[in-house]
Amino acid sequence: MKKSCIAVATIFAASAASAETVSFDTDSPGSLPMAWQEGVTGRGAAKWAVVQDESAPSKPNVLRQNGVGSFPWCVRRGTAIEDGFVEVRFKALAGSEDQAGGVVWRWKDGDNYYVARANALENNVSLYYTQNGRRITIKYVDAPVAAKAWHTLRVEFSGSRISVALNGKTYIDLQDEHIKGAGAVGLWTKADSVTAFDDFSFGAAK
């Protein structure tokens, strides 16, 4: 096994025991779920709300974003993870400019965090860091991302190492040190993306 694969496997083994999964099924439809905070990096307005979705991986509810803004985000209050993982099921529903679904980690505030996303219009997976409100690309990789279909996006991170997988396949595995220390974890979209999320999981390495 390659050294990078061993590192990723170690992160997973360490973090799995402390994992938590949020299905949104106990939250009331029509509003932002409890214990979550929404906002947008840049201009525009985020509009995150729990809705019912018969196609949800875990029925009946999903968390959907259909506001229009530069980079809408929604983070889980009270989370502070430095090393661990974050994972979500997502479905790109609509969007003429973008159809993106992403996760954030080491989130300090609305202007400073890491984000990985998959895009159904571009058919790719990408990794960024956002610093002082500016999103900066680390890497893009081509990947099949069908619209109106459920996908699993997972990021594992430990120290400077970051691994990004879509539907069980790792597309990005590298080192980056721009955002350090513990931060919150959450969800992310871009522009006019209408995206549904379900089974949000996260855990800290012990």
3-204 is classed CATH 2.60.120.560: yes
CA distance 163 to 92: 22
Ordered mean pLDDT values, 10 residues apiece, the chain (206 residues)? 42 58 95 96 97 96 98 97 98 97 98 98 98 97 98 98 98 98 98 98 93
pLDDT on residue 66: 96
Strand partners, 103: 116, 187
CA distance 88 to 151: 8
- Cβ–Cβ under 8 Å, residues 196 and 63: yes
pLDDT on residue 206: 79
Strand partners, 62: 51
DSSP 8-state code for residue 113: E
pLDDT on residue 18: 75
pLDDT on residue 181: 97
pLDDT on residue 13: 46
CA distance 140 to 194: 22
pLDDT on residue 5: 42
Overall pTM surpassing 0.85 (yes/no): yes
Helix (H, G, I), strand (E, B) or coil at 102: strand
**Which H helix or E strand runs over 11?**
helix 3-16
Q: Which residues contact 77 (CB under 8 A, 6 or more apart)?
A: 35, 36, 37, 184
